[in-house]
Structure 1
Amino acid sequence: MAIEATDVLLAALADDLDPGFADLVHTYEGVLFAAAMRASGNAAEAEELAAESFLRAYVALRGYERWRILALRPQSWLLTIMLNTWRNSVRSASRRPPQTLVAGVADEPAAGQSVEQQVTASETRRELTGLMWRLPDDQRVAVALRHVVGLPVAEVATLMHIPEGTAKSHTCRGLRALRGMYASRYR
């Protein structure tokens, strides 16, 4: 989202919380759901996690003064809320067997791709998403934030509450493990 559009969104949020918040949800629901999907691994849980995150954001915004709303970086702020909510739910839940992986947010087919290319790309995305569940949590979250959501490494580090070098390391190790798992399927 462009800086100007973010400024307009934050101004609307600061001016009138309810309609401004509806715009915030509309703008970031796809990103938040995609990150929640990668964190939780289950579409139903991801929907609950995204909804809970938006609820917590709304409650927080009700207590914010105008200057604080205008200073927000909404995508990072919402992702931080989602990750903290997810961590809390994981921490409080007993160990349970891995959930069945359901594909995340559907990607738009690239213009000019043949049907065969679209199907192949879709199958590859599904397969890589499934392989991500074999990664340790820290690597999976780092890879998802960096390469699915598209955040810079510094922001990944901030959201995960780790040093930037550690975020790079988690991302690099996660990608290396994914490449290895993917390649081993076709040997």
Structure 2
Amino acid sequence: MSLTDCLDPVRKALLDDLDAGFAELYSEHRGVVFTTALRMSGAWSDAEDLTAEAFLRAYRALTGYDAARIAALQPRAWLLTILLNVWRNCARTRSRKPPPDLRDEPIDTPDPREGVEDAAVRRETGDELHALLGHLPAEQRAAVVLRHVVDLPVAEIATVLKVPQGTVKSHISRGLKRLRALGGAR
């Protein structure tokens, strides 16, 4: 029995051929990475940028990993850790720069496959959720998004955030309590 016999298909593919394996990694995890990025940033275009940057950094990191490290990788938790680090870095950079003139910003274009009513509901719900999540501290926001939007188990969230499971539960509980209070105040 070899090392690759007990691995999931993505890690096996990464070990066999990094480029083809990375395409498989991307296909399997792009949805969860984008959804997390969208809920953390609140803007479709920012989520696209964050997702692209996270996968770019993941690929660069994989080129330096040996077979044992790739075999031990937990792809979803690893990618979400990278994404949250990219998001924190972007947030830190934005806080140091003045906001751009919004008149120069392109307007988000709607998905042509989506109906007008569905787009309006999604936009309204997304904007409301983003506004509420924006009131949470970063740690609580990340924990709530990973648990209730992405539906990760607490153990995996602890791995992503690099904190104990009890801390994750605390962040989720406090975040939800604050969201309920904020939602009731509207």
Alignment gaps of 5+ in structure 1: 107-115
Identity of aligned residues (%): 52
- Report the alpha carbon displacement of residue 60 of structure 1 after superposing the two structures with TM: 1.0
Q: Structure 2: how far apart are the matches of 1:170 and 1:158? A: 14
Q: Deviations over 1:125-174 (max 9, x none)?
A: 65334321222222111100111111122222222232322211111111
**TM-score of the pair, normalised by structure 2:** 0.76
Aligned to 2:93: 92
Q: Structure 1: how far apart are the matches of 2:169 and 2:75? A: 23
**TM-score of the pair, normalised by structure 1:** 0.76
Conservation of the 8 A alpha-carbon contact between 1:131 and 1:182: yes
Q: Structure 1: how far apart are the matches of 2:27 and 2:131? A: 27
- Report the alpha carbon displacement of residue 124 of structure 1 after superposing the two structures with TM: 5.1
Runs of 4+ aligned residues of structure 1 deviating over 4 Å after TM superposition are: 121-126
Q: Give the letter for the 1:7 counterpart.
A: D
Report the CA distance shift for 1:41/1:145 in structure 2 as closer, same or farther (over 3 A): same
Conservation of the 8 A alpha-carbon contact between 2:11 and 2:70: yes
Conservation of the 8 A alpha-carbon contact between 1:132 and 1:140: yes
Aligned to 2:171: 170
- Report the alpha carbon displacement of residue 16 of structure 1 after superposing the two structures with TM: 0.7
Aligned to 2:51: 50
Q: Structure 2: how far apart are the matches of 1:92 and 1:124? A: 28
Conservation of the 8 A alpha-carbon contact between 2:42 and 2:126: no
Conservation of the 8 A alpha-carbon contact between 2:81 and 2:160: yes
- Report the alpha carbon displacement of residue 21 of structure 1 after superposing the two structures with TM: 0.7
Conservation of the 8 A alpha-carbon contact between 2:42 and 2:130: no
Conservation of the 8 A alpha-carbon contact between 1:128 and 1:182: no
Q: Structure 2: how far apart are the matches of 1:183 and 1:85? A: 32
Asked if residue 11 in structure 1 is aligned to residue 12 in structure 2, the reply is yes
| Structure 1 residues 67-82: aligned runs within 5 Å | 67-82=68-83
Q: Give the letter for the 2:14 counterpart.
A: L
Report the CA distance shift for 1:141/1:77 in structure 2 as closer, same or farther (over 3 A): same
Asked if residue 140 in structure 1 is aligned to residue 141 in structure 2, the reply is yes
Alignment gaps of 5+ in structure 2: 103-107, 112-116
Aligned to 2:28: 27
What is the number of residues matched between the two proteins?
Answer: 167
User: Once structures 1 and 2 are overlaid, which stretch shifts more, 87-96 or 31-40?
Assistant: 87-96
Q: Structure 2: how far apart are the matches of 1:146 and 1:69? A: 26
Conservation of the 8 A alpha-carbon contact between 2:132 and 2:179: yes
Aligned to 2:114: none
Q: Give the letter for the 2:62 counterpart.
A: L
Aligned to 2:105: none
Q: Give the letter for the 2:144 counterpart.
A: V
